[in-house]
Each structure stands twice: as structure tokens, then as C-alpha cells.
Chain A
Amino acid sequence: MNRRNLLQLAGAAGVVAMLPNARRAAAASSAPRRLIIVLAQGGWDTTWALDPKLQSATTDVPVGAKQMFGNLDVFTDASRPNVTGYFTKYAPLTAVVRGISVGSVSHQECVKRMSTGSRNELNPDLAAIVAHDRGNDMPLPYLILGDTAFAGPYAVSAGRVGATNQIIALLDPAQAYQTNGHAPIATTTSEDALLAKYADATVKRLHATRGATGYNRKRVDDFSEAIGRGKKLQAVRAGFGARGRTLTLDSQVDLALDALEQDISQTVMTSTRLGWDTHTDITDQAGFHETTYLGLTRLLDGLSTRAGRLAGTKMIDDTTVLVMSEFSRTPKINSTGGKDHWPVTSAMVIGAGVNGGRAFGATSGAMESLAVDFTTGKPSATGRVVTSTLFAAGVLKVCGVTPSDHLGPTEVFDAFVG
């Protein structure tokens, strides 16, 4: 009996209670990695931390200096203690990938390219892929706490919580919205069983007719599967908190940790929810970096202390964190004190499966992508530039997914894979 059969045979609530142990057992053989993406949407300036540069005629840098954390060089300053604090604790777990060429300076286009490794918004993003391939039997394989995400063909595995965490209104009758002054009708467990039986009869009928094959069959199966996933979510509703809660990065971190720890989800998309698009005042990046690295420290603290899937391990042993922004900002400050869009960026890959404690890839003093050796990740005149697609392929590989299954035949920048 495989895990899917088990889920089909058992009642939802009972199975959910069994999930952590079951997953730990499964993990022994396949070690599926969890993935948390932290998206700094709007375009961070990599000179403020991840890609240290010297002030020059071609590049404006903030106050601070390069600081070594083992073999990892980061741009820090006493005025940004959260950045320093993060790398002091977690540099050994952190790989910084520099010089990722995104090939555009449009927000939407670059978010799509960095998230999906492709040019098509109908393709799934990395978290959707990992959820589908490595955790599709969970109640909500792909939990979207942030704003932008691409579920593509794996939409059935994805779910959003809403701008004010209104998902809880669907999960917890006590927090459901009142309509016309009275609480909505809530069905009993036995009534739910009757409704499931009725839906199942429809599914059988459709399987025998216009839903027998192809696109229609997938829609019918998604319909059936979604009902089951919804029930599983209701069984773990305590992890979703209260309605009306605006999800700051810290709130998202807590929710993400709970969802992963309880095996509600395999992957989570979060957002810093900060105004990184600093065209008119680049110094805003200071506060945004501080908020973000404080949140990252909170996240890594949680991953480092909560139990992992295998006995004696921590969550960080089976969880990978990807921190990225769709692009970076121009090397030079513009006439209004800000920086504009720049098609080269850096990202962090942290935790399980990562060769941490150093940087991979490189940029020139003027922030251009440099060709790198894909084996070592070091600059090489005979190397190639790391594009968003090749980087995405590497992240998939870290998470135990075969990149070509989703991105087609592609090279993989995997120097940072441990």
C-alpha cells in the first residue's frame, strides 16, 4: 500500500493526525526536500548586502564595507545590524549566487522568469513544481502566503490564504463570515459524508462520459481531489490563526514553519511585502534589508530548532530556503536619489542540500554578469553566464526534482548544490 492508497482509504482527520510520522517514514527512503521561497518583490539593490562593491565611477554603494563570514563576503554596516546578525549565525548554511542574468527590466516579466525559470506565466513556479513532485499527497502541497505565485498546471495543489488571512473563514465555522446577520449553515460530519458520496457519484458518471479522458478528466479528478484536500485543511485549521490578520513577513514565517512542521504543505511562497522599488530614494533599502534579514533570522531560528522529519534532525536538515528578488537596481544613483531597474541580480539559497558558506557566480565592478565555471561557480573566461533559467534548474536539483522534467532540456547551474 502506498501513501496515496492510505489516504484514500482512511478518514481525512485521522490521516492528518498520522501525517508527520508517515512522512518521516517516507523520508527515510526518498528525503523529499521542503522549499520556502522569500520573494523581495520590487527589486532589491544587491550592493546593500549580497554583492559587495567598492564606490567607483560606475557604481554607487551605501555606507559600509565588505565583511567576511568565513568564506562568504557580504556588504555590512553597523547601521544595519540585522544583516550582520543573520550572516553571523547562518552564513555557513547560506550560498549566495551572484550575477544571475534575468534578461529584462520589467517587474512582471522578471518575477515570472525568476520564479518559474521560464518565459511563460502559465508555467508553474519552483515551489509549485517541488510541491507537485515531492509532496503532492499533503493537504495543501503549495501554500501561497505571499502575493505573486504561479501554480500553472499544478493549481490543484496550490492554495492562497488571502490578503487578510480570510482562508480561515472557510476552515473554521467560528470565524466564518456572517451573512444577513446570521452565521452560515455548517454541515455535520455525517452530512459531509453524504455530500462526498454524492460528489463521488457525479465523478463516476463523468468518468464514464465526457470526463473519461484528457483535459476533461483532469478537471473532474481535480474536482474530486480538491474536496479531499479541503477536508484535510479543515482538520489542521488551528495553524492558520485569525481572520483579519495582515501577513507581515514575520507572520508569514510563523505560518510557514507551522505548515511545514505539521506536514500541511511541502512548499511555501512568502513575500517581504516591502516597497523595494526605490526609484526615488535608495536609502529606503536600508530599512527593507533590516526587516528582511530579521525575518530570515526568525525563519532560520525556527528551522534550526523545530524537529525534522527524521529522528534526531531539525527542519533545516530537510528544508531549503530560496531568497530572491526579480532583479536588482542600477549601479548608479539617478538624479532623484533612487536607482532604477537592473537585469542582473543575486539570490540566496539556504539550508538543506546547499553548499553554504560561500558565494557562487560573480559580477563585474559595474554589476555586469560574469561568465563562470559551472563546476566551481567561480569566474572563468571560458565559462557561461548564469541565467534565471539555469539558476532555477539548480534550485530544483537541490530540492530533489529533475529540472529537465519541468524546464525541458537545459543546463543546470548546480555549483551551489551540496
Chain B
Amino acid sequence: MRMLRFLAPALLAACTASTETPAPDAPDPVDPTVVYLTPPQHLTRASMALRGMRPSIEDLKAVAADPAQLPAIVDRYLASPDFGETIKELENESLLLRIEQSTLTFPQPPTLPTATALDINGSVFDEPLQLIQDIVMSDQPYTKIVTADYTLTNGVVSTIWGLPHTGAADQWTHARATDGRGAAGILGIEALYHRWRSTGFNYNRGRANMISRSLLCHDYLHADIDVDTTVDLSDPDVVANAVVANPSCAGCHQTLDPLASYLFPFRGTINLVALQNGTDAYPIGGYTVAQETRWRTTNKRPPMFFGTPAQSLAGLGQAIADDPRFARCTAMRFASYLTEVPRDQLSGAWVAKLQGELVATNFSAKKLARAIVLSDEFRVSTDTDATAAETTVGAQKARPDQLERMLRDLTGFRWTTTTTAKLRNIPYGTPDLLKSDFVGFRVLGGGIDSYFVTEPVHTMNATSSLVAKSAAAAAADFVVEHDFAAPAAQRTLFVAAAVTDTDEAHIRAELAHLHGRIYGELVTADSSEVDDSYALYTDALAAAGNPRRAWKVTLIGMLSDFRSLFY
């Protein structure tokens, strides 16, 4: 329904001169029941979606005074490192790399005796995400994610895979493999295939589907097939014949298996036990060129990209980049992530428009993100038509990663802890509790662990509510104590009042500031919104008799409020 309702305006927009300035909050001429966000609300949503952070008061005031300021502010957001973090999170929801599974955690390299499990997993599985981030943030064509002739390494990645690394061990720097794997971007990164292992006689089929699903939005598993159980699936020769000759198999395998054939130079699985007991040693990387023809003795299907010949891994990357499905899939993934609308509910016309813009801008992912957050589809608030309102996503929930950045930006607080826990018998490290699955609360807060939990939860439940309150309590405690001790000019949140002030005028002024900073609401000190917060403060003060405690309770309420957790 939502898709159809957006079809007309999108087509109309495509046929008229484009404008960067969002229209005022007026009825849509084509779909008059749609209600749009106000410019400050729009800015807040754009800021959270692109950066996982709330906008500054100054920016809120700027767009309130002149909505035409919004695109320039969005451009600033797109240039910030926080957008780079968002890009990694966005890509991870497709590639599902950020895992904390014992069985896939590399043993501690002897040359890195202090490396923690967080260091190792956070390095190994982030390498493809680092490359994509680098490409997007430097505004190279997004197609480079499958054609780049370089990767990024840090000390751990370099040690494990044997790739060159310059600079400090904790820094990601450009590096190039010299083993002949070619310019294939993330397709040439071993970590992708370590995460997506190929076992037994699967012959890289799962990996091929991962590539197809993630980069082309073509998931073979969605095909409606009837598996022929007369085929002996334990006999690779029988399977090799069936995937060619058996109609129920060939429908998918005709293209899947040739795609898989590109991946034989990577090991099916890496024997981590051998690394642990010393029968194998680091570095273990390597694209074995000699294995490029292994398809001849395994699946017996020459490498090919959906019927089109493409030479080696680099050829595969270029073929993907040239496939119109790549641009369309990119547009869909970005739009879905930034709006929290499921891919299959996105307006087809809008996706087509975004795809066209991506291609027209030489595959600028920044411009794609910009087009999305400045669109009418993005700034929809609700719909007065009850049926349409059912599918109108007018309240987006902050993912745990976003919540972490938001709290850090607002209060200066990082919710970390020390732990004696071990993963694969390696000290786990010092986790940020909103980013950890093993001991922390990423999954309990509605996020994904990229392994068992692969879809984020865009609503609240008991555990995410408890996570939100606990995080808010820790952040509130921190910032009140900090601002209580800090000189006025160095306070984080308390700019209109000191923590110890108790007179109504100062308290209300500070609360008005907090409404702007935390909720993106520009309200006056005597507004009804501030009345509610003032009541919370005064009640808490009456209960505790201590202004510091009263402010902590007030901030717990505000930081765990719907207006803070959603945008």
C-alpha cells in the first residue's frame, strides 16, 4: 500500500525539476493524507540515520528558521567520520560479518600476546567493512567495493593473513596483496570467506549465494524449488551431473555454480585447531592462483557470471559492478537501512529513481545517502489515512550501535566494562556493552549478532527497554558527576544551569536546552513539554533532597524516553 502511495509522487518528482529544499510541512498534492516531519524533526532523523547522533541546537535552530539550510547540514554530516561508522553498520547488515563466535575466532597469534578476542574479531571481520568505508568516505565510485585493487590492514589483519601493513598496529592503512588475486575489492578479502565457510562438497555455493544476495539482492534461497530427493546428495559426481541435467536443480545451479567457481582459490575452511595447537602457523593468508582451475575436478562448471564470461576474481568484480542489479540493490539496501522500511515494502519507483541517481553520480554512495535523507519518502511522519498509517514507518528506532554513539555524543560517556570472560580461551577485552554480543547487550537491545540474529528489531521489548534504561542510567550518572565538577565552560550538557541550581527559572531553561539536545525539540522553558520534565525533576528532588540525584533521575527519564530512542 505504502509503495503504491509513493509511486505517483515519485514519478511526478522524476518528471519535474528537482529541488534540494524540502517543502514546508504542507499537504502533499498527490497524497494529501501524508503528514511530513517538521524541518527540525527532519534534521533529527537525518542526523540519527546518517550519524547515530542528535543534531546540535545551532543546526536545529538554523533549519527551523530556514529549512533550505538542511541540505548543507546534511552534507556536513556526510563528511563526518560518524557517517563512516554508519556505512560499516549498514554494510554489516548485508554481509553479516561482525560475529563473536568461538568457533570462528582465530587463536591468539604468538606475536600478538596481548591481543584480545575483541581485537582479533574486530580486526579480522571488519576488514571488508573498512574497505567499503574508505571507498565511500573518499567518494570513490561505490563499484570499487568489488573492483578496488587495495584493502585496508591493521596489525592483527597483517599478522593473520600476511598482508603488508604500515603505521601503528591499531591503525587501518592501505595495503595491496601480491599473490595475484587481482582488483576485486571485498571479493578478494579472506575474512569474507572465513565468515562464510564452505564445508564438505558444497563447493562455494553458499559463498556464491552470499555474494549474489548481498550485492545483487538476488537470493537463490528465495526461489520456489522442489528438491529432487532421488538425487544422492552425498555423491559429488551425482550432484555435478544433477545440477546440469536435472531440471529441478539446474534452474538455480546453472548460474550459482559457475559463480561459485571463482572462489576455489580461497580455502573452504581454515583449521583453527591446527593454528591453536601449533601444527599450522600464521600468516595463513593467500589467494592460491593455482586453485583457480580447481572447478575442473570439483563442480565441473567453468567460472561465469550469470552466463557472461568473466576472467578471474577481478573479472567477477567488474561483472558485478556492471550489472544493473548491483546499482538497484545498493539503492534498496541504503534506502531500507536509512528508513527502516523492509526492502520488499520500498516503493519500486523510488528505488528506480535512486538507482538512476546512483549511476548518474558515478556511483557516489554519499550522494545516494543524501538523496535518500532529503526525499519525501524519508521525511514522512505519519498518515491520516488509517490503512496507509499501518505501513507508514514514521518512527525509527535507534539501533544499539546508534544508541552508543548518541549517548557518547550527548554525555561523553562510553558504556564499557572490564571482564575476565574469555572467548576461545582468549581474554575477551574491554567491551562496549552496546556493541558486544558475548557479554554485552547488542542483541538484547534489538541489534544483530550477524550469525544467529540477522534481522534488527525495530521496536521495544522487555530486554531492549531494560538495556535502554541501564544505558541511560550509566550515562546520566557519568554526565551529572562530570558537569558537577567541571568549570562552566567545560560542561557537557549543563549549559543553562549548574547541577546544583534549584531555582525554577534555571531548571526550566536547562530542561529546554535538554529537550533540544536530546529530543530535537525546540521548546520554550514554559512549554507543556518542559512542564512534564520539570515535574520529573521536582518530584525527584523532593524524593531525594539532592539536586545531583534529581538530575540523574531526570536524565534517565529523558535518555530512555521514546523521543530519545526513536526518531
Residues of A within 8 A of B421 (CB): 164, 244
* Given the contacts A151-B457, A184-B473, A198-B532, A211 and B395 also touching, CB distance less than 8 Å: yes
Closest Cβ neighbor of B543 among chain A residues: A190
Residues of A within 8 A of B393 (CB): 215
Within 8 A of A (CB), among B404-463: 415-419, 421, 433, 437-441, 443-444, 446, 451-455, 457-463
Once the chains bind, are A157 and B222 in contact (CB under 8 Å)? no
Q: Is B234 an interface residue (CB 8 A)?
A: yes
> Which of A103, A198, A213 has the most B CB atoms < 10 Å from its CB?
A198
> Which of B226, B229, B476, B563 has the most A CB atoms < 10 Å from its CB?
B229
Once the chains bind, are A213 and B221 in contact (CB under 8 Å)? no
Once the chains bind, are A330 and B395 in contact (CB under 8 Å)? no
Distance (whole angstroms) from the CB of A186 to the closest CB of chain B: 8
CB 8 Å contact bits of A206-245 with B (1 = contact, 0 = none): 1000111111111110110111011011100000000010
Once the chains bind, are B394 and A216 in contact (CB under 8 Å)? yes
Distance (whole angstroms) from the CB of A365 to the closest CB of chain B: 12
Q: Is B525 an interface residue (CB 8 A)?
A: no
Residues of A within 8 A of B232 (CB): 58, 330-332
> Please, how many angstroms separate the alpha-carbon atoms of A164 and B437 in the complex?
9
Segment at the A interface, from B178-186, B284-292, B379-387: B379-387
Interface residues of A toward B: which range?
35 or more
> Please, how many angstroms separate the alpha-carbon atoms of A210 and B463 in the complex?
25
Residues of B within 8 A of A404 (CB): none
Task: Give the contacting residue for A119; candidates B222, B229, B386, B418; CB below 8 A.
Answer: B222
Within 8 A of A (CB), among B466-521: 466-467, 469-470, 473-474, 476-478
Once the chains bind, are B462 and A279 in contact (CB under 8 Å)? no
* Given the contacts A194-B540, A198-B557, A226-B461, A108 and B397 also touching, CB distance less than 8 Å: no
Number of interface residues of B (CB under 8 A): 91
CB 8 Å contact bits of B508-551 with A (1 = contact, 0 = none): 00000000000000000000010011011001100110000000
> Please, how many angstroms separate the alpha-carbon atoms of A194 and B200 in the complex?
59
> Please, how many angstroms separate the alpha-carbon atoms of A203 and B563 in the complex?
10
CB 8 Å contact bits of A141-166 with B (1 = contact, 0 = none): 00000011001000111111011101
* Given the contacts A164-B438, A180-B478, A226 and B230 also touching, CB distance less than 8 Å: no
Residues of A within 8 A of B225 (CB): 103-104
The number of A-B residue pairs with CB atoms under 8 Å apart is 255
Within 8 A of B (CB), among A40-84: 58
Residues of A within 8 A of B417 (CB): 177-179
Task: Give the contacting residue for B233; candidates A156, A159, A198, A342; CB below 8 A.
Answer: A342
Residues of A within 8 A of B137 (CB): none
Once the chains bind, are B227 and A104 in contact (CB under 8 Å)? yes
Distance (whole angstroms) from the CB of A110 to the closest CB of chain B: 9
Task: Give the contacting residue for B536; candidates A185, A194, A212, A339; CB below 8 A.
Answer: A194
Closest Cβ neighbor of B103 among chain A residues: A275
CB 8 Å contact bits of B188-202 with A (1 = contact, 0 = none): 000000000001111
Distance (whole angstroms) from the CB of B260 to the closest CB of chain A: 14
> Please, how many angstroms separate the alpha-carbon atoms of A226 and B225 in the complex?
40
Distance (whole angstroms) from the CB of B202 to the closest CB of chain A: 8
Closest Cβ neighbor of A280 among chain B residues: B200
Once the chains bind, are B444 and A170 in contact (CB under 8 Å)? yes
* Given the contacts A198-B532, A199-B561, A368-B230, A122 and B342 also touching, CB distance less than 8 Å: yes
Within 8 A of B (CB), among A185-211: 185-188, 190-191, 194-195, 197-199, 201-203, 205-206, 210-211
Once the chains bind, are A334 and B382 in contact (CB under 8 Å)? no
> Please, how many angstroms separate the alpha-carbon atoms of A342 and B563 in the complex?
49
Residues of B within 8 A of A104 (CB): 221, 225, 227
Residues of A within 8 A of B49 (CB): none
Q: Is B566 an interface residue (CB 8 A)?
A: yes
Once the chains bind, are B459 and A340 in contact (CB under 8 Å)? no
Once the chains bind, are B476 and A106 in contact (CB under 8 Å)? no
Q: Is B235 an interface residue (CB 8 A)?
A: yes
Once the chains bind, are A330 and B233 in contact (CB under 8 Å)? yes
* Given the contacts A164-B439, A166-B439, A195-B557, A340 and B200 also touching, CB distance less than 8 Å: yes
Q: Is A373 an interface residue (CB 8 A)?
A: no
Q: Is A379 an interface residue (CB 8 A)?
A: no
> Please, how many angstroms separate the alpha-carbon atoms of A205 and B553 in the complex?
21
Residues of A within 8 A of B566 (CB): 219, 223
Task: Give the contacting residue for A159; candidates B226, B462, B532; CB below 8 A.
Answer: B462
Q: Is A176 an interface residue (CB 8 A)?
A: yes
Once the chains bind, are A213 and B386 in contact (CB under 8 Å)? yes
Once the chains bind, are A229 and B553 in contact (CB under 8 Å)? no
Residues of B within 8 A of A197 (CB): 535-536, 539
Once the chains bind, are B462 and A233 in contact (CB under 8 Å)? yes
Once the chains bind, are A212 and B466 in contact (CB under 8 Å)? no
Within 8 A of A (CB), among B165-221: 199-202, 206, 209, 221
Residues of B within 8 A of A187 (CB): 473, 553, 556
Once the chains bind, are A184 and B382 in contact (CB under 8 Å)? no
> Please, how many angstroms separate the alpha-carbon atoms of A160 and B566 in the complex?
21
Once the chains bind, are B441 and A162 in contact (CB under 8 Å)? yes
CB 8 Å contact bits of A96-114 with B (1 = contact, 0 = none): 0000000111101100000
Once the chains bind, are A215 and B234 in contact (CB under 8 Å)? no
Once the chains bind, are A229 and B465 in contact (CB under 8 Å)? yes
Task: Give the contacting residue for A339; candidates B209, B234, B441; CB below 8 A.
Answer: B234
> Please, how many angstroms separate the alpha-carbon atoms of A333 and B470 in the complex?
51
* Given the contacts A104-B221, A202-B563, A367-B229, A229 and B462 also touching, CB distance less than 8 Å: yes
Once the chains bind, are B416 and A179 in contact (CB under 8 Å)? yes
Once the chains bind, are A198 and B561 in contact (CB under 8 Å)? yes
CB 8 Å contact bits of A331-353 with B (1 = contact, 0 = none): 11111101111111000000000
> Please, how many angstroms separate the alpha-carbon atoms of A230 and B225 in the complex?
43
Once the chains bind, are B438 and A163 in contact (CB under 8 Å)? yes
Q: Is B80 an interface residue (CB 8 A)?
A: no
Once the chains bind, are A220 and B395 in contact (CB under 8 Å)? yes
Distance (whole angstroms) from the CB of A303 to the closest CB of chain B: 25
Task: Give the contacting residue for B392; candidates A184, A216, A339, A343; CB below 8 A.
Answer: A216
Residues of A within 8 A of B226 (CB): 103
> Please, how many angstroms separate the alpha-carbon atoms of A108 and B415 in the complex?
33
Task: Give the contacting residue for A121; candidates B199, B383, B446, B455; CB below 8 A.
Answer: B455
Once the chains bind, are A157 and B461 in contact (CB under 8 Å)? yes
A-B contacts, 24 listed (Cβ < 8 Å):
A104-B221, A106-B209, A119-B222, A122-B342, A122-B455, A151-B461, A155-B459, A162-B437, A185-B552, A185-B556, A194-B536, A197-B535, A198-B535, A198-B557, A199-B557, A215-B394, A220-B395, A223-B562, A280-B199, A335-B236, A338-B200, A342-B229, A366-B230, A369-B229
- Known A191-B553, A219-B566, A334-B235; 5 more pairs at CB < 8 Å: A170-B467, A184-B474, A187-B556, A332-B232, A344-B229
Q: Which residues of A contact B (CB under 8 A)?
A: 58, 103-106, 108-109, 119, 121-122, 139-140, 147-148, 151, 155-160, 162-164, 166-167, 169-171, 176-180, 184-188, 190-191, 194-195, 197-199, 201-203, 205-206, 210-220, 222-223, 225-227, 229-230, 232-234, 244, 277, 279-280, 330-336, 338-344, 366-369
Give the 9 A-B CB pairs with smallest separation, nearest first: A214-B389, A279-B200, A229-B462, A226-B465, A147-B452, A330-B234, A226-B460, A177-B417, A170-B466
